[in-house]
Amino acid sequence: MQTHIIIITLLALLAFSYFTGRKRSIATASLSKGRYNLHSRPQYYGMMVVLWAGLPALLILFLWTAFDSTVVSALTVSQLPEDVQALSEGKLSLFMNEVKNIVDSGNVSDDTNKQIAAEHYKRLSEISLLAKTVVVFVIAVLIILVALRSIKPTLQARNHVERVMTWLMIACASIAILTTVGIVFSVIFEAIQFFKAVPVTEFLFGTHWSPQTAIRADQVGGSGSFGAIPLFVGTLLISLIALTIAVPLGLMSAIYLSEYASARFRAFAKPMLEILAGIPTVVYGFFAALTVAPFIRSFGESIGLEPSSESALAAGIVMGVMIIPFVSSLSDDVISAVPQAMRDGSYGMGATKSETITQVVIPAALPGIVGGVLLAASRAIGETMIVVMAAGLAANLTVNPLEAVTTVTVQIVTLLTGDQEFDSPKTLAAFALGLGLFMVTLILNIISLHVVRKYREQYD
């Protein structure tokens, strides 16, 4: 039986066992005063049978499928002639790949060794599949039978089900955490490789970024310099410009929408604002490169400046517009959630509407507003497309918004999209940059969490 057929059959079996368990619990119960004398409601008994039988069966099925080909390959290799087994690791795995190809395609190979191995592999696979089917169903059916027999009115089925559910939820939460940990470690290991080639101090404090290195030893090429300061300064510059645009605009529109606008206007304007967040960043990139950047250039020239045609300002402004909804929409929600009693208290003491908003409503909503701004900041720091299109790739160390700059994320993209060996410093630099960016956002998050918590402790 194929794996997917096993799964479907198993699920059908489990569904059947649910209804059987449910029915059996009612059958074992007796009515007293119009109620069954069951500890739990009937569906919990069905659910308990399903969980007890389903989880182990599915787990075995999953593990068997995951390790199936490894075990079968190892068994096949152990049956190979000694001269083949003596091959180096790389050649042996190449040999086995060919064997698997023969099995998959059904072709006949002229190499006797491979042909024999292929037949052996095929036989073992068939045995494995059969064994898997039998084991899974025997286990499932056995547990179902045991579980069904154990159903009696005093069985605490709800407690059993809830305990299993708690563990399932813990497992789900752990997957998210483990994934994060995994990503961090994979970045750290590659970054360590990079720091073997380039000293940490050069990366952290170097002011020159030019990651061109020779691909082969006989090639002439740049020696490569990996000072990340210009990239982080560029990221910071563009993010700051974006936030300078987005925070006032977003906050003001949130205040207008929640405090002044009529309900009808709000119902119309809020979704319109949120559409801004749904525009693909590439489209923002066009807008920045084709409309905003030339405008800044001609405007700058008209007042006697010499802006470059790709500038941090153009990218920052457009990015600022992009992240307005993050600030406005979240702030609007938290401002609207401030209780009316708070406003009434302020009005009742002779405060004006604007005094009430600035001194009572905004402070009460501040944790949420900070959250919105942070979300916007992390979007700005991580944004790539707009910067590529509007701010250029030149790693200039400058705080002049009219010059071309580049950001960490843009460099990561350019480093990894070239034809490069994966262990050259140029490619590995991407991971070091990723690690640096991760650290920066982590520190930002910690600071803001701290600020919000301090505020809450004081005023909640």
Partner 1 sequence: MTEAMTHNIENRDEFNVEINGTVGKPLIDDPKFTTRNVDVHYGDKQAIFGVDLDVGKNEVLAMIGPSGCGKSTYLRCLNRMNDTIPICKVTGDFKLDGEDIYAKNQDPVLLRSRVGIVFQKPNPFPKSIYDNVAYGARLHGLTSNRAELDDLVEKSLIRAGLFKEVKDDLHKPGTGLSGGQQQRLCIARTIAVDPEVILMDEPTSALDPIATALIEELMIELSGKYTIAIVTHSMQQAARVSSRTAYFHMGKLVEVNDTDSVFTNPEHQLTENYITGRFG
Given CA atoms 164, 170, 171, 173 in this order, what sign does their dihedral have?
A: positive
Does position 261 interact with partner 1 (CB under 8 A)? The reply is no
Q: How far is the CB of 257 from partner 1 (least distance, A)?
A: 16
Q: Residue 67 or 260: which CB sits closer to partner 1?
A: 260
Q: Residue 197 or 342: which CB sits closer to partner 1?
A: 342
Q: How far is the CB of 358 from partner 1 (least distance, A)?
A: 11
Q: How far is the CB of 33 from partner 1 (least distance, A)?
A: 31
Q: How far is the CB of 347 from partner 1 (least distance, A)?
A: 6
Does position 265 interact with partner 1 (CB under 8 A)? The reply is no
Return the SS3 of 351: coil
**Per-residue contact string for residues 306-345; x = within reach of partner 1 by CB under 8 A:** ---------------------------------x-xxxxx
Return the SS3 of 35: strand
Does position 349 interact with partner 1 (CB under 8 A)? The reply is yes
Q: How far is the CB of 268 from partner 1 (least distance, A)?
A: 18
Does position 352 interact with partner 1 (CB under 8 A)? The reply is yes
Structure tokens at 390: 């509007």
What distances in angstroms separate CA 349 from CA 266, 346, 365, one per listed residue?
Answer: 28, 5, 20
**Within a 10 A sphere around the Cβ of 438, how many other Cβ atoms?**
15
Name the one residue in this structure whose structure tokens are 């380039």: 198
Q: Residue 40 or 346: which CB sits closer to partner 1?
A: 346
Structure tokens at 217: 């030893």
| Alpha-carbon gap, residue 137 to 153, rounded angstroms | 28
Q: How far is the CB of 32 from partner 1 (least distance, A)?
A: 36
β-sheet bridge partners, residue 32: 35
Size of site (CB under 8 A) for partner 1: 21
- Strands (DSSP E) contained in 19-155 are 31-32, 35-36
Does position 264 interact with partner 1 (CB under 8 A)? The reply is no
Q: Residue 260 or 299: which CB sits closer to partner 1?
A: 260
DSSP state of 218: T
| Alpha-carbon gap, residue 142 to 13, rounded angstroms | 12
Q: Which stretch binds partner 1 (CB under 8 A): 79-87, 150-158, 166-174, 352-360?
A: 352-360
Q: How far is the CB of 355 from partner 1 (least distance, A)?
A: 6
What distances in angstroms separate CA 108 from CA 78, 80, 92, 103, 112, one per listed residue?
Answer: 22, 18, 20, 9, 10
Q: How far is the CB of 371 from partner 1 (least distance, A)?
A: 16
- What is the biggest distance separating any 2 CA atoms in the chain, rounded to whole angstroms? 98
Structure tokens at 256: 């207008």
- Subset of 357-386 contacting partner 1 (CB under 8 A): 359-360, 363-364
Does position 458 interact with partner 1 (CB under 8 A)? The reply is yes
Q: Cα–Cα–Cα angle for 135, 137, 174, nearest 5°?
A: 80
Residues at the interface with partner 1 (CB under 8 A): 339, 341-352, 355, 359-360, 363-364, 458-460
